[in-house]
Chain A
Amino acid sequence: MSMFTRSRKTLLAAIVGGCMGLSVLPVQAMEHLHILIPGGAGGGWDSTARGVGEALQSSGLVTTVSYENQSGGGGGKAIAQMIESADQKAADTLMINSTPIVIRTLAGIYPQGFRDLTPIAATLGDFAAIVVRKDSPYKTFSEMAAAYNKDPRSIKVSGGSARGSMDHLVAAMMFKAAGGDAKQLRYVAYDAGGEAMAGLLSGETHALSTGFSEALTMAAAGEVRILVMSGDDRNPAAPDVPTMKDLGYDMSFVNWRGFFASPGISQEQKDEYINTLKSMYGTDAWKTVRDRNGWLELFRSDADFTRFLEAQEKELSGVMKELGFLL
């Protein structure tokens, strides 16, 4: 048990592929697991839920896994459903969510937040990255930050989500860590990641704020370079890409994806969920799914996960206040 209740000094210490060391406890197979997905088919939440479900089922940890897409309210409808169904005894339901639950709760889009649910565990983590065209004059993030500090209007950053969402906040955090004024950031919002990438390639913006794993795919296509990423350590998939800390800026950020249960579930039930998810990491079925999707592992469970969420909330609310999204 000490494995996942142990607190860590650096709250954002991302465990990338570091879960191999976790001992695999012999777990009795769960009979049934129902995963609630707060968005439609084909999105990031959907693919994660179905990937994790597939690994759990084909490794025999769970006998049957069922899924339910419940979109609406930008994901808020699913949270409300988890809370409403709390008193039902047959609650074998977990909901998938990610960093936006913290942001959208702060922004008041969701009336409820992670405190109204039972955080079970984070299972995946992705870092943020800043990407430029291959012919960009900026060779390093430090050069770009220097230009930004001199004239913040000279750098335009595109992102595939609305103003005030994760891509915007994280880019602001990065420029702030490099000594700039976060409020001055010119963030150009696109409807989707693909369009933001097209915007960068067409030359209308100078940089793109996106997830590290997505940036890796884009860089592999050969049209863009990754300037910097927000992990604590360099990633073996791209050892040339420096972290913010490598460049001397005190900033790190991880976008987690994880699972929540209804409020007020019993300790035994909670432990069963946690042990099942934890046992998944050692299985071959999981490795297949993980490698197929290019996922980076991040396991934080129970109280550790809650503390991690609280720290992230504090950090994000700071930058949201600074940018004027919160009073």
Chain B
Amino acid sequence: MLDGIMIGLNTAIMPFNLMMVFAGCFVGTFIGMLPGLGPVSAVALMIPITYGLDPSSGIILMAGVYYGAIFGGSTSSILINAPGCSSTVVTAFDGYPLACQGQAGKALALAAWCSFTGGTVGAIILLFAAPALATVSMSFQSSDYFALMVLGLTAVAAFAGKGQVLKSLIMAVLGLMLATVGTDVTSGTTRFTFGSSDLIDGVSFLLLAMATFALTEVIMTVLRGEHVKPQAEIDMSKLGSMRLSREEVKEVAPTVARSSVFGFLIGVLPGAGATIASFMAYGMERNLASVKEKLKFGKGSLRGLAAPETANNAASTGSFVPLLTLGIPGSGTTAIMLGALIAYGIQPGPRLFIDNPDVFWSVIISMYFGNLVLLVLNLPLIPYISRLLVIPNPILIPLILFFSVTGVYLVSFNTFDIHMMVVVTVISIVLKLLAFPMAPMLLGYILGELLENNLSRALMISDGSLSFLWERPLSAGIMVVAILALLSPLVTTLRNRRAAKEPQVAGAEESAA
């Protein structure tokens, strides 16, 4: 293995391959920044270019574009609330409020450092454990995925502000309902399409996120009349400042460490991926936070920004485990990369690191350089990019509208999606005026499809018996964690109540004495 790593290192530090890392990261970051255009589009654009390159260089370029796009996607999430790709939707939850508070530079810098750490920790785990982790990819069955999605749903509490529990449950259910639109894989029938062939493929997640966040936000600004009011003086030096205080670093460090490992493990599972990882990391972090910190989530919490940003990059690195060691693509992006490997005549699988050590190890090693390049490329740009917010609203608002709509259209090339986006935006504005939170709906939607498909598969495999929930140790284990996550707020509340009561009791005893 050490020989292999040396071969990989030699291949990865060839000047041409270093250039490929740089080019890939650069292109990826920029495509990722455009709302709607994410890693799939970015990597697909690279296909014709890679034909002329040798295998290692081609895959290094594609990998660079892939994590570059996820890296860049956070920028538009934070600055204009329009997610660059589905795995950076959660980044907007706390990143955009931070930007609104004039801390755009800090938010972008934190996102960059978190992405860097997530990607690098992922690459280290990949380097030492990739062949061993293949068994993890292979061991998850439908019932385990189902349990994992239930665990993910317990995070719905994390998306609920104070006193909004009922409203956020309603929105989560709405999300689950929306996920059932389209062709049901298990039965092969179409549901809730109202006879329209445009709904056969369901509703696109990115469209929902874009309509409920970016579009709703800008239209609310117009409705509130803020676009004509003179804008509040923005402190330029503060806006661009990337300084994180020592306390803040201390606060997010454990979050980043947890989310890196957690994100990577979710990425290793072919049936999950970076988007699921970002949602689950956010929920986990909220569940672990103290009562006081919990209130900050969704209003510009640094931990709430750090968790998904770390997890999505770690997960995208993790998805290379099934791709390289088993030849199984876990997402559209890795499916394109699998196609490219096969076009080169390279067979991904358990023997890849023996047969093609140069490709296997050089791709992994190039990820270290890639993450470093992304950091060097992005940090100096932050003071300039964050000035985007100084653009007067009458110019910025049409620009956001334009990029959001074209972004969604360029993914599907279907004008129906634009119409649907308008309808979703109108509904979402009404719900927003009634103070319904949108994030739980997105959580319900992203988990809903996997939840349902995996449950029906598990039921089919077990002949309709629910016994898999306790018979499979892995499923049972995850379900226990899910139940604990649900009960923990209850326990804390009870304990707090008792703690509040005790001094009174003590006081009463004293007075009695």
Q: Which chain A residues have a beta carbon within 8 Å of chain B's beta carbons?
A: 40-42, 47, 54, 68-74, 76-77, 109-111, 153, 156, 161-165, 168, 186, 188-192, 194-195, 197-199, 201-205, 217-218, 220-223, 292-294, 325
Contact = CB atoms under 8 A, between A and B. Distances in A.
Given A161-B185, A292-B343, 12 more contacts: A40-B412, A40-B413, A71-B412, A72-B412, A156-B461, A194-B322, A194-B335, A199-B142, A203-B141, A217-B342, A223-B349, A292-B51
B230 to A, nearest CB: 44
A222 B355 CA distance: 12
A41 B44 contact: yes
B327 A325 contact: no
A201 B326 contact: yes
A217 B185 contact: no
Nearest to B139: A202
A191 B184 CA distance: 10
B343 A221 contact: no
A220 to B, nearest CB: 5
Contact of B186 (A189, A192, A195): A189
**Which of A69, A191, A221 has the most chain B CB atoms inside 10 A of its CB?**
A221
B511 to A, nearest CB: 65
B351 A163 contact: no
A225 B335 CA distance: 21
Contact of A163 (B187, B200, B414): B187
A42 B185 contact: no
- The 10 closest A-B CB pairs, nearest first, are A221-B349, A73-B197, A164-B188, A163-B188, A72-B414, A221-B327, A189-B185, A198-B270, A194-B329, A41-B44
A170 to B, nearest CB: 14
B165 interface: no
A103 to B, nearest CB: 10
A270 B338 CA distance: 36
A72 B198 contact: yes
A220 B453 CA distance: 29
A205 B457 CA distance: 10
B188 A223 contact: no
Interface residues of B, number: 55
Given A162-B183, A162-B188, A198 B137 contact: yes
Interface string B342-381: 1100011111000000000000000000000000000000
B332 interface: yes
Nearest to A80: B197
Contacts of A164: 188
Nearest to A133: B138
B40 A41 contact: yes
A115 B348 CA distance: 41
B222 interface: no
Nearest to B456: A189
**Which of A188, A194, A201, A202 has the most chain B CB atoms inside 10 A of its CB?**
A194
A199 B141 contact: yes
Contact of B414 (A71, A156, A189, A293): A71
Nearest to B41: A41
A189 B411 CA distance: 25
B140 interface: yes
Interface in B56-94: none
A165 B270 contact: no
Contacts of B351: 221-222
Nearest to A205: B461
A41 B40 CA distance: 8
Contacts of A189: 185-186, 188, 453, 457
Contacts of A205: 461
A109 B338 CA distance: 30
Given A162-B183, A195-B271, A204-B142, A221 B326 contact: yes
